[in-house]
Amino acid sequence: MRTSKPSVLVVDPDPQVRKMLAVTLSASQFKVIEAETAPEALRLAGLYQPDAMILETALTGEAAGGKQARSVNGLEVIRAIRQWSRLPVLALSESDEPDHIVECLRQGANDFVSKPFNMEILMARLEVMLLDRCVQEAGNSELHCGDIVVNLTRHDASLAGKPLELSPREYELLSYFIRNKGKLLTHRQILKTLWGDAHTHDRQYLRVYIMQLRHKIEPDPQQPHYIITEAGVGYRMDEPEPLPDLSVA
């Protein structure tokens, strides 16, 4: 059972282009986040941590720290994103000049589509980018920890072969823990990665989600085997010890 739609941040100053992409992406079971300017794109990318971005390279807006509004192109957005994220970026542009395409790719765009574009081709390129990211992060489309399996392609999870009923945020949290299995993750690190900089001190908020997730994956939530609390620091996901075979005399 699918528990979370993959999200796409659509960045374009043209409302008609955003609307066209939003309708098509929504019909293909994507969650769509829209932005019109470069500053808005960067803010929403940090806040929502989308699965991919479709970005027009010609944007407007005020550069961070600037006193006067000036044109900010998509290359600056890509450069800023690449300082902290491997977010797949599909660049859009009315220019199909080879130099412009090469520069977009060198700055960190994963792919490029020129306008006007064929929607089927754009969707195919987007799906390939998302699949490539899953393969790079997981080695395949699944993450495993004990009896827990997270399928990155379908965005669902199971425990001992039975589907887990997870909210989108619980799915993101579980996926993040399994990707970092065995590592100590601080409260701040988890909150910043999944909720953004504005929530790095919301420890109680994180505790609520940890409690909810434990009730769904732990045999005994009061004595967890998967998500281990490191008092005062954060959490660590462990591979649980196999249960003894009581059938052996």
Q: What is the model's pLDDT at position 140?
A: 54
- This prediction has a pTM of 0.54
* Collapsed DSSP state (helix, strand, coil) of residue 214: helix
Distance CA 5, CA 26 (A): 10
Return per-residue pLDDT of the chain as tens, 249 residues.
344 578 999 999 999 999 999 999 998 888 899 999 988 898 888 888 888 999 999 876 554 444 444 445 788 899 888 877 788 999 999 988 888 899 899 889 999 999 999 998 899 889 888 877 665 554 556 788 999 998 876 778 999 999 999 988 898 899 889 888 888 889 988 887 777 767 778 888 899 999 999 999 999 999 999 999 998 899 999 887 665 554 544
CB proximity list for 24: less than 8 A, separation 6 or greater: 119, 123
Q: What is the model's pLDDT at position 208?
A: 93
Q: What is the model's pLDDT at position 169?
A: 84
Q: Is 91 in contact with 60 (CB distance < 8 Å)?
A: no
Q: Report the candidate in 81, 80, 64, 61 with the shortest Cα–Cα distance to residue 72.
A: 61
Half-sphere exposure of 62 (CA within 13 A, CB side): 6
Q: What is the model's pLDDT at position 34?
A: 95
**What is the distance of C-alpha 47 from the center of its chain?**
11
CB proximity list for 123: less than 8 A, separation 6 or greater: 24, 28
* Collapsed DSSP state (helix, strand, coil) of residue 153: coil
Q: What is the model's pLDDT at position 164?
A: 94
Q: Is 231 in contact with 186 (CB distance < 8 Å)?
A: no
